[in-house]
Structure 1
Amino acid sequence: MKQLVDQHRTEREFSVGDWVYVKLQPYRQHSLRSHHCQKLSPRYFGPFQVIARVGTVAYRLALPAHVCIHNTFHVSVLKRKVGSGVVQAHIPAGVSQQGQLLLEPIAILDRRLVKRGRAAATQVLVQWSNSFPEDATWEYLQDLQLQFPNFSP
């Protein structure tokens, strides 16, 4: 079994000063770039310069100041930049420490009453920031008010 796993493994090693791309989560609600088709959105962002090697499999990168992601990455999410061409795939502002978009409710589009346990509960259709109107989700009003106390529906 080890031989089968090792067939797909590659040894990657970078030195200080190399330029690399960072692979971040491409999922629909958690991607780092608003794109009309998340399936086709970029998976790698950068290039960023390696500023230090931390341990045997981690590297510290020079990220822009507005990014709130930790600047140390495992070697498995890095890809060496090849060639001299530059592709601008920047990481936008409003990103959490885990590399996910910080979503804020913008508007309440609709309401409905549903059964939650043995009692009735109100659900609201919430339009989120950094997403499209068709990506609105149904959330419980009580949970929404606890998570976002400054938001008034």
Structure 2
Amino acid sequence: MSVRNVIHPTTGVGRAIRPKKLSPKFIGSYQILRKIGPVAYELSLPPQLSNLHPVFHVSQLRKYIADPYHILKLEDIRLCQDRTLEMQPVRVEDSNTKYYKGKAVRLVKVAWDEKTGDSTWEVEDAMKDLYPHLFEPQS
């Protein structure tokens, strides 16, 4: 059987992954075990994804295009029981002040993933409470 990239996290009931603000397009390349119907496939999922149902609609799959220089590395993805993915911030890239109803709100641009460059604007106070190590001076 062929190998496909799987799990489009924002489609279907009971989403596979629901990170707070970041949503990877696809995760992993998994082998197709069998075709269930005209639009459904059963996949061979690793143990880390054992809490997911192994049958996926074709809209959640993309064909893997072989590249002789592409070496597949299986990432160790740990999903919580409620099928969420805990992301850890990498660094603070920028800061800005916005005004909301006459009050100044400090925002910081937080990088979440080195490989993809995913980043979001977050409230500085909330990020300082959750991740104080990001705001410590570098020596």
Structure-2 separation of matches of 1:80 and 1:137: 29
Cα-Cα RMSD: 4.3
Structure-2 separation of matches of 1:129 and 1:74: 28
- C-alpha change, 1:100 and 1:68, in structure 2 (3 Å) is farther
Q: Who is 2:58 aligned against?
A: 75
- Would you say how many aligned residue pairs link Structure 1 and Structure 2? 113
Higher-Rg member (1/2): 1
Structure-2 separation of matches of 1:96 and 1:79: 21
* Cα offset, 1:123, TM superposition: 0.6
Structure-2 separation of matches of 1:32 and 1:102: 16
Q: Who is 1:126 aligned against?
A: 110
> What is the TM-score of this pair, normalised by structure 1?
0.47
1:65 to 39, 47, 53: 47
Equivalent positions of 1:39-118 (< 5 A) are 46-50=29-33, 53=36, 57-67=39-49, 70=52, 71-78=54-61, 89=72, 92-94=75-77, 102-118=86-102
Q: Who is 1:12 aligned against?
A: none
- C-alpha change, 1:19 and 1:60, in structure 2 (3 Å) is same
Please tell me whether residue 151 in structure 1 is matched to residue 135 in structure 2. Answer: no
> What is the TM-score of this pair, normalised by structure 2?
0.50
User: For the Cα contact (< 8 Å) 1:121–1:140, is it kept in 2?
Assistant: yes
Where structure 1 has 5 or more consecutive residues not aligned to the other structure, the ranges are 1-17, 34-44
User: For the Cα contact (< 8 Å) 1:111–1:124, is it kept in 2?
Assistant: yes
* Cα offset, 1:80, TM superposition: 7.8
User: For the Cα contact (< 8 Å) 1:21–1:80, is it kept in 2?
Assistant: yes
User: For the Cα contact (< 8 Å) 2:5–2:63, is it kept in 1?
Assistant: no
Equivalent positions of 1:21-36 (< 5 A) are 21-25=4-8, 30-32=24-26
- C-alpha change, 1:69 and 1:20, in structure 2 (3 Å) is farther
SS at match of 1:66: helix
